[in-house]
A and B are shown apart, each in its own frame.
Chain A
Amino acid sequence: MTQSSACRRGGDFAASGEIKFRRWMWPVLLLLVVSGNAPAQESGRSQKQQYQAAPADAQVTRTERTYFAPDVVLIDMDGKTVALRPLTEANQPVMLDFIYTSCTAICPLLTETFAQVQRELGADAAKLRMVSISIDPEYDTPRVLRAYAQTYHAGPHWRFLTGNPKDIVEVRRAFDAYRANKMDHAAIVLLRASPGQPWIRFDGLVSPSALVREYRAMP
């Protein structure tokens, strides 16, 4: 093993924790996001904004998208079947992300973020439907998801879903969150105020405080 190969492993990627984001990179990043994020079921409405938030959110992009959940039935962490479309079209705010339990970096932070949002909202947390969908359904059985949910003290309004792998792929495609390799997945959080409203999509490591602000500002 040489030092150079070790460097190569962690050093090639612009989002490395050790690589400082520079202002001139913004146009490049925006171009990449625009070209790489054509959603499968998007109606064409996509409004991009640079998110104004805490320093931790400097690399987060906020866009508004129109997505429709496919008509699939998933399974929650209690082993109960859940029709996804009614869940995401419920007459209440919905916050959704994609995770898997053996993920080591992004997912734990996403899940910690959801847990912190739940904590910061206090009693209001019951008004927000939180949905975390596993992208590794063969490993993340209801039993595994239940243990994971308990670790993060998920409340009754926060469901972890798994299901048939083909259905999960369909869901990921519908929300423009599909990557062939689960370990290449991106950090995405989706938030929607009410049925008919667009989904607000955060690409990057959005902070809990930014999500809480977004939620509070919703009509």
Chain B
Amino acid sequence: MHLPKGFRLICASLLAAWFCATEPAAGQSMAPMIPGGMRESGPGGMFDELTSELSSESVGMRIYRQGILPGDRPAVATRAGAAVVPGQVACANCHQRSGLGAREGQQAIPPVVRPVLYAPKPGVRSAYTDETLAAAIRDGIDPDGRPLSPLMPRYAMQPDELAQLIDYLKKLEPRPSPGVANSVVHLATVVTEDVPPARRQAMLDVMQAYLQDLNEASASAAAGPPGRASAARQGLNPMLRWQLHVWSLSGKAQSRRAQLESYYAQQPVFAVVGGLSTDTWLPIHQFCQRQKVPCLFPTTNVPVSDRPAFYAMYFDKGSVLKAQILARYFADHPQEFSSGRIVQVLPADWTGYEPAAALRQAMGRVKAHRVVDQVVAPGIPIPSEFWQQVLSQESVCAMILWAQNADLAGLAQLASDRSLPPIFVAQDPYSGKPPVSDRRLSDRLRFISTLDPATATAAAASWSAWMKAHRLAESEAMLQANTYFVMNLVDEAVRANAGDFTPEHLIERIEYSAGSVVSHPLLASLSLGMGQRFAVKGGYVLTPGDASGRASASSDLVIP
């Protein structure tokens, strides 16, 4: 069905207006609806914070997390004879939000939670008192009069400011998640109704198999003689059990908050793991931030990419990242793409609007004028007449399709009659089948992908062996690998944190372990750091290879 251009534009405008009116909670250009949200500074993260939380807590919390004194003055500190820059001065930057400290190379940042500070460390130091703690913060000396590490800043603070910070430190103690009770760790995963049943099942099968392994290991350790538990599980309660709750969301986006709250009221969870949606992830993102529940690595093309939150972690910025990769790729290949029009075909929904806007923004004002948008109705096959009209425009140097699972049959019909420009498709070639079956297009197609198909890692081999051992076919390889990775991360973090179930501690461990201690089976360059919330920051432009869909890289890693 070919619609006149004017009609299409009107439809697109109406759809956009409808989205804006009914779903204020979606899209890159729309801020998450966190009432009175504000941001934290420093490498610890530029996070949305609940003003209500900050105002209901003490001045000390703001000093600790943000390094901001009353009157909005930045805290002032020195170390090793130099001033600490304002962005680095918050206590949480080193001691972490949880107060449980961290490790960096050979340097250990000690915990500063109340139960640790106010107890002696045999052979290391005496217990702190309010007075000696003030001296540590102000002068950098421990309770026994010895200097602290040169890493510890010496803070210039008024006595009342110090007192408020110490008051906060006395409240700072591990806060076990309500999602762990009676030796059961409750996890949830979220699936929206737009997800095909086979994909939903592929994800759930991996989760269930993983948790079954953990439960069997616990049962075996509990039943066996003392010492049977492996060293890796020491410190964990041998009676620990894991339970998965599937939170299915349906209906309109604005009803999802209530659905999530209802599920959580029935059974609080330690973390929301994985998850699957083609729709915006914003309601889940906001729910996790509100309830302080870690929300870990959903498979979604529409993550909340513009306003990071402490509790929500993503693989990448979805289609926005792909648009940014493409803009960088164009800039790196000026001979092919520095002149001529760039036509982007986008469905009239957020899966189209987001990357289309991101591409324009990434190309910059000067170059974005060469970009022409062609809006199509979502989910409807695109006829060859449409493509004919698109290609009739003068000097098209590249075409981009933002539609998921785009039907290119109409375009393939034209391929034998005329030369086509490179066609960029925002689709991972690893979804189990070739994205485009028509070979007539294959020499023109380019996939924008976060996956390096040339990389065969030990993690990939180990994952494939695990899948085989559990009789799971790699039917949705990327999704299943994502899911396995998330389960592995949570499992590793619980072990590394020695059975501590503080949500903030889980996040902090994953910032450390993602991509290093725990590798993703397929995404070799994934990693995080403190305050980072998107693990994959670059990608590749791939060309389709053989009939099996195995693609090959036509670019180095492209980092926008």
A6-B93 in contact (CB<8A): no
A105-B104 in contact (CB<8A): yes
B100-A136 in contact (CB<8A): no
In the bound complex, residues from chain A placing their C-beta under 8 Å from that of B517 are 181
Contact partner, B525, options A6, A119, A165, Cβ 8 Å: A165
In the bound complex, residues from chain B placing their C-beta under 8 Å from that of A108 are 43, 84-85, 88, 93
A139-B151 in contact (CB<8A): no
A10-B111 in contact (CB<8A): yes
Question: How far in angstroms is the closest Cβ of chain B from A80?
Answer: 14
With A5-B497, A8-B498, A208-B80 in contact, do A100 and B103 touch (Cβ < 8 Å)? no
B149 within 8 A of partner (CB): yes
Q: Could you tell me which residues of chain A, from 150 to 181, have a CB within 8 Å of some CB in chain B?
A: 151-152, 164-165, 179-181
Bitwise, A42-69 to B at CB < 8 A (1) or not (0) is 0000000000000110000000000000
Question: How far in angstroms is the closest Cβ of chain A from B57?
Answer: 19
Bound-state Cα–Cα, A3 to B113, Å: 9
Bound-state Cα–Cα, A141 to B537, Å: 10
Bound-state Cα–Cα, A6 to B500, Å: 9
Q: Tell me the count of chain B residues lying within 8 A, CB to CB, of chain A.
A: 67
Bitwise, B101-133 to A at CB < 8 A (1) or not (0) is 111111111110101100101001100000000
A9 within 8 A of partner (CB): yes
In the bound complex, residues from chain B placing their C-beta under 8 Å from that of A181 are 512, 516-517
Bitwise, B163-183 to A at CB < 8 A (1) or not (0) is 000000000011110000000
- Considering only CB atoms, which chain B residue lies closest to A60 in the complex? B150
Question: How far in angstroms is the closest Cβ of chain B from A183?
Answer: 5
A136-B102 in contact (CB<8A): no
With A3-B115, A13-B106, A13-B107 in contact, do A151 and B100 touch (Cβ < 8 Å)? no
Contact partner, B557, options A6, A18, A164, A207, Cβ 8 Å: A164
B500-A1 in contact (CB<8A): yes
Interface centre among B85, B106, B175, B529 (most CB of A within 10 A): B106
With A101-B43, A106-B107 in contact, do A5 and B82 touch (Cβ < 8 Å)? no
- Tell me which of A89-97, A110-118, A122-130, A194-202 binds B: A110-118
Bound-state Cα–Cα, A173 to B176, Å: 42
B529-A17 in contact (CB<8A): no
- Tell me which of B140-148, B205-213, B288-296, B343-351 binds A: B140-148
B110-A11 in contact (CB<8A): yes
Bound-state Cα–Cα, A4 to B121, Å: 11
In the bound complex, residues from chain A placing their C-beta under 8 Å from that of B125 are 18
Contact partner, A138, options B109, B116, B497, B537, Cβ 8 Å: B537
Contact partner, A18, options B43, B82, B124, B499, Cβ 8 Å: B124
Q: Could you tell me which residues of chain B, from 518 to 560, have a CB within 8 Å of some CB in chain A?
A: 525, 527, 529-532, 537-538, 556-557, 559-560
B502 within 8 A of partner (CB): yes
Bitwise, B68-105 to A at CB < 8 A (1) or not (0) is 00000000000111111101100001100000111111
A136-B529 in contact (CB<8A): yes
B102-A6 in contact (CB<8A): no
Interface centre among A11, A56, A109 (most CB of B within 10 A): A109
Q: Could you tell me which residues of chain A, from 1 to 52, have a CB within 8 Å of some CB in chain B?
A: 1-20
B108-A11 in contact (CB<8A): yes
Question: How far in angstroms is the closest Cβ of chain B from A139?
Answer: 6
- Considering only CB atoms, which chain A residue lies closest to B529 in the complex? A102
Bound-state Cα–Cα, A115 to B147, Å: 23
B505 within 8 A of partner (CB): yes
A6-B151 in contact (CB<8A): no
B152 within 8 A of partner (CB): yes
B531-A102 in contact (CB<8A): yes
Chief secondary structure at chain B's binding surface: loop
A104-B102 in contact (CB<8A): yes
Contact partner, A112, options B82, B142, B147, B525, Cβ 8 Å: B82
B82-A113 in contact (CB<8A): yes
Contact partner, B108, options A10, A102, A109, A183, Cβ 8 Å: A10
Question: How far in angstroms is the closest Cβ of chain A from B38?
Answer: 20
A207-B150 in contact (CB<8A): yes
B85-A151 in contact (CB<8A): yes
Q: Tell me the count of chain A residues lying within 8 A, CB to CB, of chain B.
A: 58
Contact partner, B100, options A6, A15, A20, A186, Cβ 8 Å: A6
B116-A3 in contact (CB<8A): yes
Contact partner, A205, options B84, B151, B174, Cβ 8 Å: B151
With A105-B109, A137-B559, A183-B516 in contact, do A112 and B84 touch (Cβ < 8 Å)? yes
A17-B85 in contact (CB<8A): no
B235 within 8 A of partner (CB): yes
Question: How far in angstroms is the closest Cβ of chain A from B491?
Answer: 17
Bound-state Cα–Cα, A72 to B93, Å: 33
Bound-state Cα–Cα, A156 to B478, Å: 45
A187 within 8 A of partner (CB): yes
Contact partner, B150, options A7, A183, A205, Cβ 8 Å: A205
With A104-B43, A108-B88, A185-B105 in contact, do A11 and B529 touch (Cβ < 8 Å)? no
In the bound complex, residues from chain B placing their C-beta under 8 Å from that of A2 are 174, 498-500
A103 within 8 A of partner (CB): yes
B44 within 8 A of partner (CB): yes
Question: How far in angstroms is the closest Cβ of chain B from A158?
Answer: 15
B80-A205 in contact (CB<8A): yes
Q: Could you tell me which residues of chain B, from 485 to 509, have a CB within 8 Å of some CB in chain A?
A: 497-502, 505
In the bound complex, residues from chain A placing their C-beta under 8 Å from that of B531 are 102
B150-A103 in contact (CB<8A): no
Bound-state Cα–Cα, A101 to B88, Å: 11
Question: How far in angstroms is the closest Cβ of chain B from A64?
Answer: 21
Contact partner, B111, options A9, A56, A100, A115, Cβ 8 Å: A9
With A104-B102, A112-B79, A181-B517 in contact, do A5 and B559 touch (Cβ < 8 Å)? no
In the bound complex, residues from chain A placing their C-beta under 8 Å from that of B115 are 3, 6
Question: How far in angstroms is the closest Cβ of chain B from A72?
Answer: 13
A9-B105 in contact (CB<8A): no
Contact partner, B105, options A12, A55, A116, A179, Cβ 8 Å: A179
Interface centre among A18, A19, A179, A181 (most CB of B within 10 A): A18
Q: Given A11-B110, A108-B93, A119-B82, list of 5 further CB < 8 A pairs? A: A9-B103, A101-B43, A109-B151, A183-B529, A208-B81
Residue numbers of B with Cβ under 8 A of A are 43-44, 79-85, 87-88, 93-94, 100-111, 113, 115-116, 119, 121, 124-125, 142, 146-152, 173-176, 235, 497-502, 505, 512, 516-517, 525, 527, 529-532, 537-538, 556-557, 559-560
9 nearest interchain CB pairs?
A: A17-B149, A1-B174, A13-B108, A10-B101, A181-B516, A10-B110, A116-B82, A102-B529, A16-B108
A–B Cβ pairs within 8 angstroms, 15 of them: A1-B501, A10-B100, A10-B102, A10-B103, A11-B110, A13-B103, A16-B109, A16-B124, A17-B149, A104-B44, A106-B104, A138-B559, A139-B532, A165-B525, A184-B105
Residue numbers of A with Cβ under 8 A of B are 1-20, 55-56, 100-106, 108-109, 112-113, 115-116, 119, 136-139, 141, 151-152, 164-165, 179-187, 205, 207-209
